[in-house]
Structure 1
Amino acid sequence: MSTTVTHVFITATNKLEPDDKHARKRIRKQAMSKSAQARKKRGGYGQHNLIQYPAEYLPCSGSKSDPQVSVKALIPASLASSSYEKMRIRYNFDLLDLSQLTSFHISYATANILANKPTMLTEVLGHRDWSYLNYLPGRIGHNSALDKAAACVAARAQQWLASPSEPVSSSILKLYSSALAALQAELQCPNACLRPDVLCATQLLGIYELLKMSTEDAWRYHSTGATALIKLRGPGRCETDFEKALVLSHVGQIFHEALNINQTCFLSDDPWQAALRSIPTTDNLFSDRSEPIISLLTTVCRVPEYFYKTTQIICVTRHDTPVGLVDDVKNNLQLLRLQLLHWYETFFGPASSDYPKVAIDKDRKHEALGFSFAVSIILNRLLFCLDPVENAPCEATAQDSALKILMIANQELSAVSQAELFMAIKFKVAKVTLATAERWRDWRMSVCAQAGSLMETLIMPKDVFVDWCQRMGWETPRQP
């Protein structure tokens, strides 16, 4: 064999002497070159045992009765090196563990509860429900405002879990300041402000205020901002699952804000109603995106409109109000009340046994029931205010609903934190209703005493009605 040969081929006629070490080395190098090049292309060069499965995951028994599982199902895919994964590793926290804080049950009352009892947060972290957070892994890394808001929330959550009693660190405050600046830049752009990522960033900063254990006012700042963005985007931008999840998580807050400032709720408009009705799934009977919840939400979105009209009648026009207008308000309140009763019968009455059997989250079920009772209290009391004679049973129904809310909180929910955080606003409605019961009853008795001598329908005195509204934090018209 010539000493100038570059490549050595193994053939039947090209025998090598056993002691030809240099030739054997060249043969091994040549034989492995192609496979090495292939591994480099796949990204697996220098990594060993890539297809070896850990022994602890292999079946322990060789029995033929063992279930047959495909390799693809048995071996999980490796995690992609995504922007979301990098953020999760950096802050040692997964934002999906905050999904319960995106529920429509969250309200300004929840912010107050957390500010006073921060330790309640530990019992809801990690319980994952479907929410807009599910879509974050695919969206992080594409929008600066969203990236910075997510980082801010993750950093705060991690710090709180590590040191609950420590104040927010200066580094996290810097992240928050940077997130606000990035969001403000997006909001100043007419086109950018309509992107779903900008709405998501706004809602994430609302979660940050909850984790910061801020006051109610600080949380409301972001909540009202998200409401304004949703209204600006319009129902035409509620088409993708991500967009629907963003809107759905905020429906409860939009409803409460409308009551608080005494305005109609834009979600009662037909295009928005159609957008909400396109959401339901059957994954869990009382999840936020289930048919019972969507049905309930589409009904209650009309309540603020008739709360506003009732306050105008009681606080402004009173007996100068055209009879036709008063009758229209009463008829619509009765219609909403009947729709709520129908909802209850469908999902909690005897007819509920005919409903398809699917998974049920019992806490969510009773929270939805509590919400329906709270809305029922409002409707019944508004009817009673406008006609205490014809609608005399309505106040008794309201008091009964208040007691049922307290019973749900005391007996039906799995944890104290679950009750206090997600039933907070329902508690308030119930407690204020019970606290004002005596004054309302006294007015009712005075009406009965003079009913025979009255020539016109009585309307509740303004001071009695306003006292109830003020205790709830609801605005009423000022004296003209």
Structure 2
Amino acid sequence: MPQSFSFVNFDGPNLVPDAQVRRRIRQQAMRDTAVARKQRGDYGKHNMRQYPVFISQADGSKVAKDIPDSNELQRIRQSIDLYVPFSLQDPRMPKEFSLLLNLMPLTGLRLGVGTLSHYLYEPTQPKDAIVTAQASSQRLLSFIPSRYGHVQLLRHATDSVIAKLQYLSQLEENRSPKGDLKALMHYQKALQALQEALLDEREWAKPETLCATQLLGIFEALNGNEKDSWMQHVGGAARLVEARGAHMFQSEFEKALFLSHIGPTVMSAFLSNTPCFLEQSQWQAVIREAVNEDATLSNDKEFVLALWGGLIELPRLFKDTTALLMAPCPPPQKVVDDLIERLLAKRKNLMIWLTLLRKNPIVKDGGLVDDENGVLIFSPDFDYKTLGPWCLTRIGLRGTYAVCRMVKSRLLYALSPEKFQHLENEAQDIARRILNLQDDMAAAKQSALIWNQFMAQGSWIAKGIVETKDIWGEKPHRDESMLEKWKFEKWNKVIGRKIS
């Protein structure tokens, strides 16, 4: 993956969150960005990915390093104010802040790769009234207004996303270059402020820094077709979460931030061929605590915890499979059989999860309809509002489930094509269903929201599975018990996953 946008060290995914790691993150924040630009050949050139000379520097307003004792009471009051979520109708909120409520990536129930929102799929359509963020998004967003006027980094990051949404909310023929330039100017100020914060001993671990990081990642996704740039940013954010340490997610704001980063953190590990640090017991405890305290998940907490438990293990399973398939010499059959047994056990757990979910519908008379593989079916008259407020959470969980099932089925087939041909067929069926779902539900009410919550998180995996169907189905040139290396490499290349 090109190092096209990096603000923390993306190498060394197994770093331990200690003082040495923190120094490394701070020291290499700027250096990694410079190296990436040199590799692309645009180092020192003026473009919208650098800080243009014609854009004014940040306003320079900074909080005093040493606060006099006479201001102690004011400091305490401000500190309390920063950690109390404001109502979304708070008068200090920027008047354009409501645009952020149309942005879905802050749910934390999405895998968050390939696309973050509906904007990347239909860029010519007006977006000002597409969706209203579900409760979990609003919970995180509610912490921003009280910090907006006090934290320069967060203000610039918020302004950049709002400006971008204002620009994208117009029909393409009505968009002015000035609107896009305004968004990019805010983005550059935010990026500079973020880089400074990461180099500051007192600022890099603050929750506002992590929140701004997420907002800038959203900006990257909204900004166009630079998926690699956005994924590099997500990888850096995951390293920042890890470096903060599990013990630093204590407040409501921090826990809301953590929940919103689970999906992107898992997929960062998934795409970089590394285990996910969230497997560790201290992070599992944070997940349980954050989910249990999140009132927006009150009806589905057990389902969320169970599904995320399987999701977090997926990067390690993929990594172990990659190691066997790419080994220079055929691995011992016992090692292969052990991995197959693990995958089958995880797949069985996923099937049990689906069975239990089906037995607990969100409404007594039914609710969501699915096919034999658990992929949702949306009728033209489907309206999530009639099913209650928890419908969107269920749709998001089903999207995550579909990704997990496709990947596990494909990994089993790769380890033993002859034994698991039926699972490759299953993966193809699920993938085609997901890719065809957009047309099937085009006439449904709130179709953009449904696509964003369910389909977007699985479409990139589904597309990669369909694109490599014929290649994986070719008869091997020689008798091999596992899938040929070049076929596995092709699939990983299509989905943007690093295997070396």
Structure 1 pair 217/381, CA: closer, same or farther in 2 (3 Å)? closer
Structure 1 pair 372/443, CA: closer, same or farther in 2 (3 Å)? farther
Which residues of 2 match residues 293-308 of structure 1 at below 5 A? 293-308=304-319
Secondary structure of 1:239 counterpart: coil
| Correspondence for 1:270 among 278, 281, 286 | 281
Offset of 1:419 from its aligned partner? 4.7
Offset of 1:309 from its aligned partner? 1.2
Deviations 1:5-61 (A, max 9, x none): xxxxxxxxxxxxxxxxxxxxxxxxxxxxxxxxxxxxxxxxxxxxxxxxxxxxxxxxx
Give the conservation status (yes or no) of the 8 Å contact 1:87–1:151.
no
Secondary structure of 1:192 counterpart: coil
Offset of 1:416 from its aligned partner? 3.9
Deviations 1:179-209 (A, max 9, x none): 2222222110133211101100111112223
Give the conservation status (yes or no) of the 8 Å contact 1:402–1:430.
yes
2:152: which partner in 1?
Answer: 144
Q: Are 1:431 and 2:463 counterparts?
A: yes
Offset of 1:304 from its aligned partner? 0.7
Alpha-carbon separation, structure 2, partners of 1:442 and 1:213: 36
**Equivalent position amino acid for 2:481 in 1:** L
Deviations 1:36-93 (A, max 9, x none): xxxxxxxxxxxxxxxxxxxxxxxxxxxxxxxxxxxxxxxxxxxx9999744513xx34
2:114: which partner in 1?
Answer: 109
2:401: which partner in 1?
Answer: 372
2:352: which partner in 1?
Answer: 342
Q: Are 1:322 and 2:327 counterparts?
A: no
| Correspondence for 1:158 among 166, 174, 178 | 166
Give the conservation status (yes or no) of the 8 Å contact 1:286–1:368.
no
Which residues of 2 match residues 231-242 of structure 1 at below 5 A? 231-242=242-253
**Structure 2, unaligned stretches of length 5 or more?**
1-85, 368-386
Offset of 1:242 from its aligned partner? 1.3
Which residues of 2 match residues 51-70 of structure 1 at below 5 A? none
| Correspondence for 1:94 among 93, 98, 108 | 98
Offset of 1:378 from its aligned partner? 0.9
Farther off after superposition, 124-133 or 225-234: 124-133
Give the conservation status (yes or no) of the 8 Å contact 1:99–1:130.
no
**Equivalent position amino acid for 1:146 in 2:** L
Which residues of 2 match residues 3-402 of structure 1 at below 5 A? 85-89=91-95, 92-94=96-98, 96-104=100-108, 105=110, 107-110=112-115, 114-115=119-120, 117-118=122-123, 119=125, 121-131=127-137, 132-161=140-169, 165-167=175-177, 168-213=179-224, 215-280=226-291, 283=295, 290-319=301-330, 321-349=331-359, 359-402=388-431
Alpha-carbon separation, structure 1, partners of 2:446 and 2:363: 27
Q: Are 1:475 and 2:498 counterparts?
A: yes
Offset of 1:407 from its aligned partner? 5.8
Give the conservation status (yes or no) of the 8 Å contact 1:399–1:434.
yes
Identity of counterpart residues, as a percentage? 27
Structure 1 pair 208/286, CA: closer, same or farther in 2 (3 Å)? farther
Alpha-carbon separation, structure 1, partners of 2:242 and 2:212: 16
Q: Are 1:460 and 2:489 counterparts?
A: no
Offset of 1:308 from its aligned partner? 0.9
Structure 1 pair 368/213, CA: closer, same or farther in 2 (3 Å)? same
**Equivalent position amino acid for 2:492 in 1:** C
Offset of 1:278 from its aligned partner? 1.7
Q: TM-score, normalised by structure 1?
A: 0.70
Offset of 1:172 from its aligned partner? 3.8
Q: More helix per residue: 1 or 2?
A: 1
Secondary structure of 1:366 counterpart: helix
Give the conservation status (yes or no) of the 8 Å contact 1:194–1:233.
yes
Structure 1 pair 214/144, CA: closer, same or farther in 2 (3 Å)? farther
Q: Which has the larger radius of gyration?
A: 1
**Equivalent position amino acid for 2:272 in 1:** I
Secondary structure of 1:94 counterpart: helix
Secondary structure of 1:306 counterpart: helix
Structure 1 pair 354/191, CA: closer, same or farther in 2 (3 Å)? farther
Secondary structure of 1:278 counterpart: helix
| Correspondence for 2:448 among 417, 421, 424 | 417
**Equivalent position amino acid for 1:459 in 2:** M
Give the conservation status (yes or no) of the 8 Å contact 2:414–2:483.
yes
Give the conservation status (yes or no) of the 8 Å contact 1:374–1:401.
no
Alpha-carbon separation, structure 2, partners of 1:421 and 1:354: 26
Deviations 1:322-360 (A, max 9, x none): 3443233222212211121111111125798899x9945
Point out which structure has higher relative CO (alpha carbons under 8 A, 6+ apart).
2
Offset of 1:375 from its aligned partner? 1.3
Deviations 1:365-402 (A, max 9, x none): 23421321221111111112112334343223322332
Give the conservation status (yes or no) of the 8 Å contact 2:362–2:391.
no
